[in-house]
Amino acid sequence: MASAELTLAALVAWGEHLGASLQAPVVLTLSGDLGAGKTTLVQAICRGYGVREPVTSPTFALVHQYAGERSPVYHLDLYRLKGPQDLANIGWDDLLSERAVVLIEWPDRAEGVLPSDAQVLHLEHVDGHPELRRITT
Ligand SMILES: Nc1ncnc2c1ncn2[C@@H]1O[C@H](COP(=O)(O)OP(=O)(O)OP(=O)(O)O)[C@@H](O)[C@H]1O
Ligand SMILES: [Mg+2]
């Protein structure tokens, strides 16, 4: 595990770099409390991967699909997941078996059904430094 404390600009640059290096199929989980920067990081990863459309927060939709240059990108926000039936409704098994980039906010909501080879990213606030986030990979 590695961790670093990053400004917004540094976090975005890091995410764009990561996105440029991704090879589908790949699943990334992004955990961390409210406002930790998960969606901000997803947006940077998508930009780096070559998504040209705006990436928004899918809090109410559970999942958004974007066209990447090299594969589809799925952005899931499971904060409002009510149970396993919601996962079935969004086609969980199918989208995880596609050759896609899958980015999952609030992965703890799907504990037990996450792929074991998912790449884990964790973000947290830094006490006394509102402009920084600690990222652990
Ligand atoms: N160093 C930083 N890295 C990331 N975001 C930062 C940083 N400093 C300040 N911010 C701000 O923190 C906010 C993070 O919001 P964001 O929506 O990305 O969080 P989130 O983890 O997705 O929250 P939620 O759980 O509500 O979905 C943004 O307004 C962003 O500008
Ligand atoms: Mg978010």
**How confident is the model over 76-102, as pLDDT tens digits?**
999 999 888 999 999 999 999 999 999
Hey, which residues does 75 pair with through a beta bridge?
Answer: 64, 103
Annotated domain spans of the chain: 8-136
CA of 75 to the centre of ligand 2 (A): 10
Residue nearest to atom 23 of ligand 1 (CA): 35
**How confident is the model over 12-65, as pLDDT tens digits?**
999 999 999 999 999 999 999 999 999 999 999 999 999 999 998 866 789 999
> Please, what is the Cα angle at 74 between 6 and 105, to 5 degrees?
45
Query: Residue 15, Cβ neighbours under 10 Å: how many?
Result: 25
Which ligand does the CA of 121 lie closest to? 1
Instruction: Decide if domain 8-136 falls under CATH 3.40.50.300.
Output: yes
